[in-house]
Amino acid sequence: MEQDGTDPDERWLTAALHAAFLLLLGGAVTRLLTHGPAGGFRTAWVLALFLAFGALYLFGRLRAPGPRHGERPSVRHLVWLGAVLGLWLVLLALEPSATWCTMPLLFTGLHRLPVRLAVPLAAALVALVVVSEVRVSTGEFNPNLVIAPVALGTVATAVLVHSRRQTTRQRLLIDDLVRARGELAATERHAGILAERQRLSAEIHDILAQSLSSQQMLLRAAQRHWRTAPDTAHAHVEAAAAASERALAEVRRFVRDLSPLDLAEGSLVQALRGLAEPDGAAGPAVEFRLDAVPGSPGPLPGPVEATLLRVTQQALANAREHAEADRVVVTLTCLEDEDRVTVDIADDGRGFDLRRQPPRGRSSGHRGQGLPAMRMRARQAGGELTVESAPEEGTVVTISVPSAENPGPETS
């Protein structure tokens, strides 16, 4: 507990100690005035010492506060505590009722001082009380004069020392909790950074890499026909320029965090059908099929449509660049009794051995993002992506996502 009073339990305990001290001090003064010698210089002198004792106690609580938990007591606090105890010893020698103030002093020492100082102080206070009680006792010896102070002092010491140790353990647990929360927050920030990097990498790959690949094929085709068929070469150059302009528009929309340009200009069906239109570049013939009841699919969330379109674009780029396919069929399936939308991209290319695919989440050399980026997109949309392929038997890429927007990306 801190002494600045920010903790309610700390304020309550401090107030209780002050109240107990003032009550017991008032009781000692009352006994002096009612049972002490009537009048006289000695009574006035002891009364003045009692008042000075109370004033010194309260003054020290304000001007010489005790140490915070885990800190060493200041010199000022130790001097004040020594002065209070010294004045109490003088009163104890002059007036037996001063023993009533022992308990608040005992709690004050144990409550603030380190255990290695508090326990010897408590033992010394209890011993002084026993000596004072025995000194002023009359008649036969009463064992309670020794047993009662020792028992009360032992209980008070044990309770407060246990409380101090519990407080220390709680502080250690709180420190561990704060440190663990900080580490968790740092880990979450790092994971968020990595996820955003993956998202940006996939977007840049889909927007730029595919467009540049298409432009490269068109320009190479134009180079081959430059002398023999100038008109054909010119058409290829114009197609490459159009692809470049479209990629530039996509980049600008991406910077503004908008949907893909194809989806902004039409529906998902129109965007997928547009992928099947010939663009003059060398590559497989693309056919689009829609397997749905009339009017389906209806409006889908933007992220779902963007995921389906981007994965289809990537699968077509793979078929064009790596599969050496002659024909690709893109099928959009949206059944009335299902809440999922599926796109299949099947090519008749050379295929590959699935057992030799790189580990999930890693790229495959020259193929760049490829399948890992497609899988990541599917997971972020709450769906899944499967790949079926075998050497010389073509490849089928299937992505299936919920028709409603996923509340958040999955982690894996």
Spatial separation of the C-alpha atoms in residues 159 and 55, rounded to whole Å:
28
Over pLDDT 70: what percentage of the chain? 78
Instruction: Give whole-number Cα distances, 302 to 195, 236, 265, 404, in Å.
Output: 19, 33, 13, 10
Name the β-bridge partners of 347.
328, 395
Spatial separation of the C-alpha atoms in residues 2 and 68, rounded to whole Å:
5
Nearest to 268 by CA among 212, 313, 206, 211: 313
Residue 3 has pLDDT above 50, yes or no: no
Residue whose pair of structure tokens reads 């000194």 in the numeric block: 135
| pLDDT tens by residue, 238-279 | 888 877 877 777 676 665 555 566 676 678 888 888 888 876
Model confidence at 207, pLDDT cuts 50, 70, 90, reads low
The one-letter amino acid code at 343 reads V
Q: Helix/strand/coil (H, E, C) string of the chain?
A: CCCCCCCHHHHHHHHHHHHHHHHHHHHHHHHHHHHCCCCCHHHHHHHHHHHHHHHHHHHHHHHCCCCCCCCCCCHHHHHHHHHHHHHHHHHHHHCHHHHHHHHHHHHHHHHHCCHHHHHHHHHHHHHHHHHHHHHHCCCCCCCHHHHHHHHHHHHHHHHHHHHHHHHHHHHHHHHHHHHHHHHHHHHHHHHHHHHHHHHHHHHHHHHHHHHHHHHHHHHHHHHHCCCCCHHHHHHHHHHHHHHHHHHHHHHHHHHCCCCCHHHHCCCHHHHHHHHCCCCCCCCCEEEEEEEECCCCCCCCCHHHHHHHHHHHHHHHHHHHHCCCCCEEEEEEEECCCCCEEEEEEEECCCCCCHHHCCCCCCCCHHHCCHHHHHHHHHHHCCCEEEEEECCCCCEEEEEEEECCCCCCCCCC
The number of C-alpha atoms within 13 Å of 183 and in the hemisphere containing its C-beta is 6
Spatial separation of the C-alpha atoms in residues 69 and 148, rounded to whole Å:
31
Model confidence at 397, pLDDT cuts 50, 70, 90, reads very high
Cβ neighbours, 10 Å, residue 131:
14
Contacts of 70 (CB under 8 A, 6+ apart): 168, 171
Class of domain 266-412: alpha beta
The one-letter amino acid code at 60 reads G
Residue 87 has pLDDT above 80, yes or no: yes
Q: Which two tokens stand for residue 37?
A: 């010698």
Write down the pLDDT at residue 369. Answer: 54
| pLDDT tens by residue, 300-332 | 888 888 889 889 988 888 888 788 888 999 999
Spatial separation of the C-alpha atoms in residues 319 and 186, rounded to whole Å:
41
Mean predicted confidence (pLDDT) in 17-40: 77
Q: Which two tokens stand for residue 314?
A: 């990537």
- Most confident stretch, 54-58, 144-148, 266-270, 288-292: 288-292
Selected residue with higher pLDDT from 219 and 210: 219
| pLDDT tens by residue, 115-130 | 777 788 778 878 877 7
Q: What is the crossing angle of helices 8-35 and 102-112, to 10°?
A: 160
Name the β-bridge partners of 345.
330, 397
Instruction: Kindly report whether the global pTM for this prediction surpasses the value 0.85.
Output: no
Write down the pLDDT at residue 255. Answer: 59
Q: What are phi and psi of 293, to 5 degrees?
A: -70, 160
Whole-number average pLDDT of the chain: 77
| pLDDT tens by residue, 33-82 | 887 665 667 788 888 888 888 888 878 777 777 666 666 777 887 788 78
Residue 367 has pLDDT above 60, yes or no: no
Spatial separation of the C-alpha atoms in residues 132 and 102, rounded to whole Å:
12
Model confidence at 136, pLDDT cuts 50, 70, 90, reads low
Write down the pLDDT at residue 346. Answer: 93
Spatial separation of the C-alpha atoms in residues 36 and 395, rounded to whole Å:
109
What are the extents of the domains in the chain? 8-142, 266-412
Rg (CA), the chain: 43
Spatial separation of the C-alpha atoms in residues 162 and 151, rounded to whole Å:
16
Write down the pLDDT at residue 347. Answer: 93
Our measurement of the distance from residue 113's CA atom to the centroid of its chain's CA atoms, rounded to an integer in Å, reads: 36
